[in-house]
Amino acid sequence: MSQSSSGVYTSSDSFPKSFSSGYSELSSTSISLPFATRHRVLDEQTCDSGLCSPLPSDRFKYITWHQLEGHDIHGTQIHCPRVRKAPSDEQLFLRGEECGHLMRKRKTEKEDVKNRLQENWENSLEVNLSYQDLGDSYQQENFYRILRRLIRVEKLQLIDNSLMDLSSFRLPRCKELNLNKNYFSSFKQLPKIPQIQHLSLAENNIQTLCGLSSLRMSPLESLNLKRNPCEFQEQYRMKVFSSLPNLKVLDGIPKMPTDCALAEQSLISKMCLIL
């Protein structure tokens, strides 16, 4: 377990075991947040259905990780630091959310420089940027800006970020990459990952195995393609292992003798029989 120089908890003990949670996880220690008070009910309005709205957590949906200092939450307690920016005041007004968020103070130039120094992404080795809720184009631009700075990252989790194409990005030292629950439709849309060892692409929209050979020269040992359309292809496992000779585990199942049948058949077909 490691921690970047920015103070943000960006590590995980192992490749993610469960992806059921869609929110930033806090430590098990007791944390007293300002919205968890008896006065919160006064700020909520009851909708026609009789349910209280908004949820307490909605007050923090536009706050990035380094803005949580005044809410008794520290960077070391955040597993998925939020890097998306908030909409402008004009956009919030058009959405009718001008009173539905915490008042954001105007950042001075000095504070902006301080925040940028905290985001020491270049030296981060383990980063979790999952569940960012990138709803606006400028939020995506800020996310991609940070992604380009991860030049030394070895373990990276980008779960459920509505990502479609990262082919223009390069992660030269990345060994473990989790891209579950995104919108990738081809292996050609993956970033450049020459050192990848463990790759997870479960619950995407990968139709065919075309482009899989681009990972042939990598030291890829395990690959997860569960709940992708390509999983239902005929001789699916044989084709994957034939394209990736270094692969040992596919979809959580180790390589079996039957998975090598296609390669053996291909070899036999190329042999010349002399009578």
In the chain, what are the domain boundaries?
1-13+51-155, 163-275
Helix, strand, or coil here: 114? helix
Report whether pLDDT(103) > 60: no
Which pLDDT belongs to residue 206? 96
Q: Which CATH superfamily is domain 163-275 in?
A: Ribonuclease Inhibitor (3.80.10.10)
Percent helix, strand and coil across the chain, each to the nearest 5? 30, 10, 60
**pLDDT digit string (tens) for 148-160?**
999 999 999 999 9
Question: pLDDT tens digits, residue range 217-270?
Answer: 999 999 999 999 999 999 999 999 999 989 999 999 999 988 886 555 554 444
The gap from C-alpha 152 to its chain's centroid, in whole angstroms, comes to 16
Mean pLDDT, rounded, for 32-41: 38
